[in-house]
Amino acid sequence: MATLATFGSSSAPRFSKPEALKASPSLQFLGSLSSQLSGIKISYNLPPLKPVSSPFSPALQPVARRICPFTGKKANKANHVSFSNHKTKRLQFVNLQYKKVWWEAGKRYVKLRLSTKALKTIEKNGLDAVAKKAGIDLRKE
């Protein structure tokens, strides 16, 4: 950093290099400096901060998306139209239901969250065919 120095009545400011700061070895060891202008001692030896951990933080739960894994149906953007024809944005959600479906190949029930359209498709084509087409592995569930 350069300091501003004026010589005589010259209106143009001239800059001169300041002298190098010379701190005693004990001050360098402590990590502090004293300012040339005001004599304030600046120290940067602070104890390390410990992270604050709260023992009662709630665990993050996975959020179930409003999308059918079998058909790929998701919410539709629409307008809610009032009597005065005032339109406000709204979402038309998929009719998702929790359903236990019998899986013939696994000889057990599988609990699924699927749309009613997917339920009709499973009744028509079978659970294995619909899951294979959607790329869903039923053995994991």
Domains and CATH numbers, the chain: 76-134 (2.30.170.40)
Distances (CA, A) of 138 to 6, 60, 106, 126: 84, 25, 9, 13
Would the pTM of this model clear 0.75, i.e. be above it? no
Yes or no: say if 6 and 13 are a contact pair by the CB < 8 Å rule.
yes
Closest to 74 measured CA to CA, from 90, 95, 97: 95
pLDDT tens, residue by residue, 98-125: 999 999 999 999 999 999 999 999 999 9
Name 35's Cβ contacts closer than 8 Å, sequence gap at least 6.
41, 42
| 7-60 pLDDT per residue, tens | 555 555 555 555 555 555 554 445 555 555 566 666 666 666 666 665 655 566
